[in-house]
Amino acid sequence: TLYQKHIDSHTVCTLDDQGHVLLYIDRQVANEYTSPQAFSGMREAGRKAWRPGATLAVVDHVNPTAPTRIAAMPDAGGALQVSYFEENCRDFGIELFDVLDKRQGIEHVVAPEQGFILPGMVVAAGDSHTTTYGALGAFGFGIGTSEIEHLLASQTLVYKRLKSMRVTVNGVLGAGVTSKDIIMALI
């Protein structure tokens, strides 16, 4: 399967006989909401980002959506998150699309639009919507804060291979039934 090809081509080494591998991650997309603790951990350990150019940072969780938005965030908590994010990206050499950047938007739309995500890549981000990169022929998956830190430091993650399963759907879809309905019933 395409999934198996992605995993096979990005496996650095096999870690055990339970399916755990050290997986090379081509790209990471970071946001202001899930990355602060990861950057703090990097800073406390005295680590640098292994490949800063392999991470794209996008402010997209707390920014105002008004077309007349300004750099000043109306929400104090959001403003603090963005301020830390800007500082972290600057300190670790990571490109940031901030609130006023003309390329800024929803991280999972911006990254492909800017050519940051391409077919054949393995991509991770601290957001469950990272799986949408599968539409581009990439393998994307969401990760937690400690994994964000590990990825920033090493460009790899410990990953457990998933099992594959063939599903065949026969027949004609009823009126108003779509492929989304089928997958939602399967999962």
Q: What are the pLDDT digits (tens) for 77-118? A: 888 888 899 999 999 999 999 888 889 888 999 999 999 999
Beta bridge partners of 24: 156
Mean pLDDT, range 13-29, rounded to an integer: 98
Give the domain extent around 70: 2-186
What is the rounded CA–CA span in Å between residue 134 and residue 95? 24
What is the rounded CA–CA span in Å between residue 126 and residue 38? 10
CATH of the domain at 143: 3.30.499.10
pLDDT digits 0-9 by tens, 114-172 = 999 999 999 999 999 999 999 999 999 999 999 999 999 999 999 999 998 899 999 99
pTM of the model: 0.87
The vertex-57 CA angle with 160 and 101, nearest 5°, equals 155
At residue 57 the predicted structure's pLDDT band, cuts being 50, 70 and 90, is very high
What's the one-letter identity of residue 47? R
Number of domains, the chain:
1
Within 8 A by CB and 6+ apart from 152, the residues are 28, 38, 39, 42, 47, 49, 50, 55, 92
What's the one-letter identity of residue 63? N
